[in-house]
Amino acid sequence: MRPVRRRDAIAVLGSALAALAVPARAQTAGGRRKRVGILMGYTQSDQEAHVRVDAFLDGMRRAGWVDGKTMQMETHWAGNVPATIREHAAALVRSQPDVILASTTPVVRALLQETQTIPIVFLSVSDPVGDRFVGSLARPGGNATGFTNLTASLGGKWVELLKEMNASLVKVAALFNPDVAANKGAYYYRPFQAAADTLGMAAMSLAVHSDAELEAAIASLASETARVGLVVMPDAFTVGKRAKIIALAAQYKITAIYPYAYFAVEGGLMAYGVDLVDQYRVAVSYVDRILDGEPAGALPVQAPTRFELVVNLGAAKALGLALPASLQLRADKLIA
């Protein structure tokens, strides 16, 4: 599928310049190589996750941190199975890195159970205060800080966009895995339900824990007598199972919205969320400052400021949906 519209070039340039503005640190104290650990809550076969790690490594090189020269990198791919995540977290902590870049809520939780001293910079975490990773966003304290990937209010925004795409919807379902979702799914569900009430739609909760439950939950939407839309909430499970979710939504002709652009690129109807690749570039600044001696707990947690709306026109056509002019004008990217 080929994108037919690019995002705002000025915003992209600004993000790139922000990454380039990080001061270079070509030599560490005493000439010792700093050790940087990465723990990803995705499988090693997830190419989208590799794109993000590559963006981080590129930013580190620009800042003077080169794997094998001025630093030593150790990357773990833990997937989304809690037991496996705990094993990788323990192994990485035993290697005593100077800082850890951690992605997804279950990964950060596992790391903080292993260490309260090694600095952690997190990404793809929605509710670090609610999950007790930090004391507050402004003053994290402890050994963790980082970048939140979404805000709770998006739970309502997804419902609004879904209704705008398909005005005939009278119900909306939220799909998530409570074992790994932020605050067990409640973080996004409250504004999700409030938006549904405002729009006169019935709200449904689809909590799933396995492939079998996932298939049954989406199939159940097709048996509803009323038209039901689907909001796929962001968590390690739904991200890891996105190919299956996208395929099932297409099979059962369900109008669905997803939390990240790559869901739409990979065939989903539409997506609205933060540019994760950009966040990995910006995260370089915190890792660099920590390697230079600043405590992680003194660096405020940063919330996302840039969001992108992506619509897959092919998926819309397959569902018999015409893209409203209002969405076409607001979309950052349309995929043919």
Structure tokens at 126: 């929605």
Question: In which element (H, E) is residue 98 found?
Answer: none
b/e sequence 223-251, b meaning 16+ C-beta within 10 Å: eeeebbbbbbbbbbbbbbbbeebbebbbe
- Ranges of residues in the chain with a pLDDT under 50 are 1-29
pLDDT tens digit sequence for 83-105:
999 999 999 999 999 999 999 99
Structure tokens at 286: 């915190």
Amino acid 31: pLDDT:
60
Domains of the chain: 9-149+275-305 (3.40.50.2300), 154-273+308-335 (3.40.50.2300)
Amino acid 229: pLDDT:
96
Amino acid 28: pLDDT:
46
Amino acid 181: pLDDT:
83
Contact 97, 39 (CB under 8 A): no
| DSSP code string of 155-184 | HHHHHHHHHHH-TT--EEEEEE-TTTSGGG
Amino acid 30: pLDDT:
52
Could you tell me which residues are beta bridge partners of residue 190?
Answer: none
C-alpha–C-alpha distance, residues 258 and 170, integer Å: 19
Residues comprising the chain, all counted: 336
Structure tokens at 105: 């809520």
How high is the mean pLDDT of the chain?
89
Amino acid 1: pLDDT:
40
Structure tokens at 205: 């909760």
Residue 65 backbone phi and psi in degrees, to 5 = -100, 105
Contact 143, 118 (CB under 8 A): yes
Residue with tokens 């773990």: 76
Nearest to 329 by CA among 164, 163, 186, 196: 164
Could you tell me which residues are beta bridge partners of residue 174?
Answer: 205, 231
C-alpha–C-alpha distance, residues 179 and 209, integer Å: 7
How wide is the angle at C-alpha 307 spanned by C-alphas 125 and 37, nearest 5°?
35
Q: Positive or negative CA dihedral for 131, 136, 140, 142?
A: negative
Instruction: Return the number of other C-beta atoms located less than 10 Å from residue 183's C-beta.
Output: 17
Give me the long-range contacts of 316-320 (CB less than 8 A, separation at least 24).
316/165, 316/269, 316/270, 318/250, 319/253, 319/255, 319/269
Structure tokens at 65: 């941190």
Amino acid 17: pLDDT:
41
